[in-house]
Structure 1
Amino acid sequence: MTFDLLMAAIGAAGAPDRLNPVKLFLDADIVVQVVMVGLLLSSVWTWMIIISFSLRMGGVRRRSDAYEEDFWDAPNFEAFQKERGRANVPLGKVAGEGLAEWRRNAGMKSVDPEGARQRIGMAMNSTVAEEADKLADRLNFLATVGSVAPFVGLFGTVWGIMNSFFQIGQQQNSSLAVVAPGISEALFATAIGLFAAIPAVIAYNRFSHRVNAFEARMQRFADRFLSALTRQLEQG
C-alpha cells in the first residue's frame, strides 16, 4: 500500500524515466551548483595530473634505463658524464653531484677516505631526495581531492536537503512531489564528490608507489656509485 502511494506521488510529479544530470544541476540551489562546479573542476584537474604524470614517469623510466645501462659500461665515468650529464635524467643528476664532490675531495692535500665517503654520500642522497620530491610534486593535489571531495559533496547534499525541508515549510506540503526533486539534486552533489575522489585516491596510491620505487632505484644507484668513487680515492 505504501509503495503504491509512493509510485502514485512520483507519477503525479511527472518524473522522467531516468536521471538527467544536466537537469539536476540546473534545478539545484545556487550553493549546490557552486559545490558541483568546484568538484567537476577538481575532477578535470585530477585527470590532467593522472595523464601527465603517467607520461612523465614513463619517459623518466625509459631515459633512466638507457642512461644506467650505458653508465656502467663506460670506461670513464667523468667522460661519460660530460657527454650525457646534461640530459634530463635524475640518475645523471645524482651521478653529477657525486662526481663534483669526489673531485673536491680528490683535490685536497690530505684525503680522509671515510670523511670523503660520507660527504659524497650526503651529496648524492640529497640529490636523490630532491629528484623524488620533484617527481611527487603534484601528487599532493590528488591526496587532497581524495580526502576532501566526499566531504565537499556531502556539504552540498546537506545544504540541498535543508533547502528541500525549507520548501516543505514554505508550501506547507510534505508530499513526495515537493521534497523528492530537491533531495535528488542534493544527492547528486555527493555522487560528483565520489566521482572526483575515487580516481584521485587510486591514482595517488599507485603513483606514490611508483615514486617510492624510483627513489629506491636512485638510492641503489647512488650506493653503487659511491663504492666505485671511494675505491678510486683509496687507490689514488
Structure 2
Amino acid sequence: MAGALLQIGQQAPQSAWDLLWIGTLPTKIVLLVLIAFSIASWVIIFWKWRHFRTVRRQGDRFLTAIERSQRMEDAYKAIMALPESPYGRVFRQGVNFFSELRPGGLKEGALKGHELSRGQLEVLCMIMEKEEMEERDELAVGLTWLAVISTVSPFLGLLGTVIGVMNAFLGIVASGSTNIGAVAPGMAEALVTTAAGIAVAIPAVVAYSYFVARLNLVSGELEGFSSEFIGSLAREGWV
C-alpha cells in the first residue's frame, strides 16, 4: 500500500482517467462499479423511455377507438384490430369473461333477459383488476434497478471518499512529510469518487421519479377504463 501511495505521489493524477490507471486498487474497484452502474442505468433509462412512449401511443389509439364506438361490440371489433397493448389486454379479459357468462351477449339484437348477478359482477371486476396489476408489474420491470442504483451510488461515492482520505493519511506516513504532494493524491481520489457517485445517482433518481409518475398515470387510466367498461355493460342492460 505504501509503495502504491509513493507511486501516486510521484505521478500526480491529472484526471479521473489517471486515477483509474495509477490509483489504488480499492479506488479502481469503486470507480469501475460506478461506471458499470452508470452504463446500466442509462440502458434502463432509454429502454423504459421507449417502452412508456410506445404505451402512451397505444393508449391514445385505444381511447380513440373506444370513444368512436357506439356499442360494446363495435369497441371490441375496433380494439381487436389494434396492436397488443396493456389497455387492450384489460379490455379483452373483461370481454372474454363476459362472453363466457353471456355467450353472444355483445352482438346487436341480443336478448337482455338475464342481467349479471352481483357475484358475477364482482368476479368480473376482480378479473380486470388482476389484469391491471399484471400490466402494472410488467411496466414496472427495470424500475427497481434504477431505485437501487440511485440509492447505492452515493454510498459508493462516500466509500471512495473514506478510502481517499485514508490514503491521504497513509501518504503522509509513507512519505514522512505533510506537504501537498503527499496528501493530494488521496484527496483527489476521494473527490473524484464522490463526484462519480453523485453523477451516477442524479440521472437515476430523476428517471425513476419520472417513470413512476408515468406508471401511475397508466395505472390510473387502466382503473378508469375498467370502471367505464362496467358502466358500458350497465348502459346496455347487463348490470
TM-score normalised to structure 1 length: 0.84
**Larger displacement relative to structure 2 (147-156 or 163-172):** 163-172
* 1:222 maps onto 2:226 in alignment: yes
Q: Aligned to 2:178, what secondary structure does the other structure show?
A: coil
Alignment of 1:63-102 (within 5 A): 63-75=58-70, 77-78=72-73, 80-81=75-76, 84-85=79-80, 87-102=83-98
* Structure 1 unmatched ranges of 5 or more: 1-12
* Greater CA drift, 76-85 or 193-202: 76-85
Is the partner of 2:238 in helix, strand or coil? Answer: helix
State the secondary structure of the residue aligned to 1:45. helix
Shift of 1:232: 4.1
User: CA offset at residue 187 of structure 1?
Assistant: 1.7
- Contact 1:98/1:123, CA 8 A, preserved across alignment: yes
Residue identity matched to 2:215 = V
| Match runs of 1:1-236 below 5 Å | 19-75=14-70, 77-78=72-73, 80-81=75-76, 84-85=79-80, 87-106=83-102, 112-232=116-236, 234=238
CA deviation string 1:151-185 (max 9, x = no partner):
01111221122122122212222211111112102
SS at match of 1:234: coil
Equivalent-residue separation in structure 2 for 1:209 and 1:92 (angstroms): 21
Contact 2:160/2:189 (8 A) holds in 1 = no
Q: Which runs of 5+ in 2 are unaligned?
A: 1-9, 104-113
Of 117-126 and 65-74, more deviation after overlay is shown by 65-74
TM-score, normalised relative to structure 2 = 0.83
- Identity over aligned residues, as a percent? 31
Aligned residue for 1:151, secondary structure, equals helix
Secondary structure of residue in 1 paired with 2:189: helix
1:115-137 C-alpha deviation (Å, 9 max, x unpaired): 22211111111111111111111
Cα deviation code 1:97-125 (max 9, x no counterpart): 10122122225xx7652222211111111
Query: Partners of 1:76 and 1:233 in 2: how far apart?
Result: 12
**Greater share of residues in helix:** 1
Closer, same or farther in 2 for the Cα pair 1:14/1:73, shift >3 Å? closer
C-alpha distance in 1, partners of 2:126/2:153?
Answer: 40
